[in-house]
Each structure stands twice: as C-alpha cells, then as structure tokens.
Structure 1
Amino acid sequence: MSAGGENTAIVSLGMSCQSARQIRKSIDVLSASLGEQVKPDRSFFDGLIAPITGMCRLFEDGFPIFSREQIIPGPGEPTWQPYGIRFLHHFRDEAGTADVLVQFEENLSRFSYLRQKFLRLRDRARVIFLWCPTPRTTCWMSREKRISRLPFPIRNWRGCKELLTGLWAAPANI
C-alpha cells in the first residue's frame, strides 16, 4: 500500500511488504507531517519482494512490463525473471494457490495499469519513495519464501536512486 494526496505521493518500492505496511499504518502521522491529507493508494511494487539489484536492472531497462515467458512458477512464489522480483499475493486462484498460466492475463492487466500509474507519479509536486530492507523482515522472507538471500548493499541503492532520477527526469526522494 502506498499513499497519496493532492501534491504528494508516498510510494513503496517493494523490498518487502514491510514498507507498504508501514505507510498504511502511518497515514495519520504522514498527513500531519506533510500538511496535507494522504489516503491509501495502490502502487506497482506493493506486495512484491523486489531485490535492489533486480529493481536497478528493471529501471535500467526502462521499466518494461513483464511477458508470460518472464513469469516463472518459483521457487516459492511466481518470479519475474530476469529481475528476481517475486509476487507474494498475485497470480493466485481463489484458494490462494499460485497458478501463473490461469492468472496471467488478469495480473498483466493489473500491473500494466499500475505501471502507468507509477509513471504518472512524476507529475506530482513531491514523490517520496519508501524502501524498507529491515534485516528481520528479509531474514524471515528468505526462510519462509525460499529465497537464498536478499542483499541490500547501499551502493546498489545509490545506483537505483540515480536510475529513478533518470526515469523521473527529476531528483528521486528516497
């Protein structure tokens, strides 16, 4: 979950669900701090495990949308290759079972819309990106979701910030 107001957007960048959760839980505090009412709003990276190296590569590639061939069943969760981005809450049937083939078109439509919405954020006066790589969360996800490791080297983050700045044609606030 991300949030937005008339002038400001606060956007989860999806290292885990934790950043989206913190935004959702802090709507009142964020509104008071920013001096404008912000409301919950969905964004592209909400609910995704997006390793920083994969996000950098995604932005370097111009932030394309995925193809059917790029979504593989796992391990653990449907995964967007070559970026290593995992879909925790998507490509699932009503019982919660991951089924990429059956759920592909619906998710392609959803994420195509969210991608366009993400790109339109550059029209906002202020966009704040939140990235929440807490060791406790990433260790749990590594074990629970069968991900070998989720590194978050700061040098990669600086590179990702530069790529976002290029995508935005304005400095990225992270």
Structure 2
Amino acid sequence: MGGLLAFMWVLEIFDQSTGGSLDQYGIHARELDGLPEIFTAPLLHGGFEHLLGNTMPFAVLGFIVALGGFARWLGASLIIVIVSGLSAWLLTPANTIVLGASGLIMGWLTYIIARGAFDRRPLPIVVGLAVLLLYGGMLWGVFPSQAGISWQAHLGGAIGGVIAASRIHRRST
C-alpha cells in the first residue's frame, strides 16, 4: 500500500508540475474512448488536497483488504475498479472527467463490511463491524451531495465491494 501511495503522490507531483497533463487519463464520462481510463483514474487526483483526503483511508482500508492475501486484494480491487469506473462512466454527465481513488476506497470499505457476512467467520465479522464504526460515515458519499465529488464512482465502488465479497468469500452451504 505504501508503494502504491508513493506512486500516486509522484504522479500528482508530476501532474501539478505540468499543469494537469495527466488529468486527461481520467474517466471521460460517456465517451467510448474514455473506457480504458477506468484503470488509470484511481491513480490520479484533482490536486494535492484531493490526494491528501484519500491517502489515509486508502492506506488503512487497502491494508486491511491486503491482509487477506495478494490474490484476494487484487481480485477485489479489480472488481471494484471496474464496477466503480463503469458507474462513473455511465452515470456522470457527459463532458466530465472523473479522477481519484475514492471509488476504490468506498469499495474496499463495503468489501470489508460484507466479507464477514459472506465468510461467516468471527474475525472478519468483528473487523467488518469495527471498520463500519470507524469509516461508516463515508457511506453517505454514495448520495449526491457536493459538486465536484463523484457520488457515481462512490456508489459503483460500494456495489463493487459487495460483489467482490460475494464472489471471493461466498461459502457453499
């Protein structure tokens, strides 16, 4: 997680020093040629304040997900990035560029919470409840609230996190 965060900070330093040249690699809503940016948008931010606001939850929630192993972290992250990105691409007004890791962060949040329900073991349930208590207020981000904040990516991330938990942790009965 530290390496990914360092990479995002290096990207933002470069982006700021070049007048926002990397922002073009964000999700271009409703443009077919903007779909590949679903995978680059979570690494890019709209300034240092935006990145700073995402840094701590990215580190904490990403680390908790990574404790389950690299394969689970990667699988969950890919599902979340795709669902969040597609939601942002489809639901955001045209001529908008969506940047930031908050859709992924929201997905990790719901993944951690939902994983206990699908896994049915005590530790994931307790961890999920603790994360809900500490970060549950973030869930309000799935509703439209403030201009410039992509509730669409947040909503997609939240849905992606539940899908990832159900796919990765569903027990056969």
TM value normalised by structure 2: 0.28
Q: More strand by proportion, 1 or 2?
A: 1
Q: Please report the TM-score for the alignment, with normalisation by the length of structure 1.
A: 0.28
